[in-house]
Homo-oligomer: A and B are copies of this chain.
């Protein structure tokens, strides 16, 4: 079972690394949305959010947050920042080693996102879902 990001973390595959510690790695995406698009990963193989140790999650999040500050001062064009994570094929995950995308944005760049914004649920429906989630949260996390 080979994993592209495990190969990078092990130093067996080339990558343009800007950050490394014992737990996390940050490197440039080879398919960037804009120049400066990076991925922050846990070094240990982790497929999905539900497999992610919470302490490791907090650590890679902090590196992602700092990366936002770094991008604004690194010389790449950067007027804003997006952070994106895809968990599961249905959510557009393509490499099944968890990664946080951090990418710079600027007015007039090529990035777009879209959805059917006509959904407009009623308050009663939102309240019903919130209640289901409160109950699921309690069951999972006390």
Q: Which residues of A contact B (CB under 8 A)?
A: 14, 16-19, 27-28, 30-36, 38, 49-50, 52, 54, 57-58, 61-62, 65-76, 79-93, 105-107, 109-117, 119-121, 123, 125-127, 129-137, 139-141
Q: Is the CB of A18 within 8 A of B134?
A: yes
Bound state CA distance, A17 and B134, in angstroms?
A: 8
Q: Which residues of B contact A129 (CB under 8 A)?
A: 16, 18, 28, 35-36, 74-76
Bound state CA distance, A16 and B133, in angstroms?
A: 10
Bound state CA distance, A127 and B90, in angstroms?
A: 32
Bound state CA distance, A113 and B62, in angstroms?
A: 25
Q: List 28 A-B contacts (CB under 8 A).
A: A16-B123, A16-B129, A18-B130, A57-B61, A57-B65, A66-B137, A66-B141, A67-B133, A73-B140, A74-B129, A74-B133, A74-B136, A76-B132, A79-B89, A79-B91, A80-B86, A80-B87, A80-B90, A82-B92, A83-B84, A83-B87, A92-B113, A110-B115, A110-B116, A111-B114, A111-B115, A112-B112, A113-B114
Count of this chain's copies in the oligomeric assembly: 2
Closest-CB distance, A125 to chain B (whole angstroms): 8
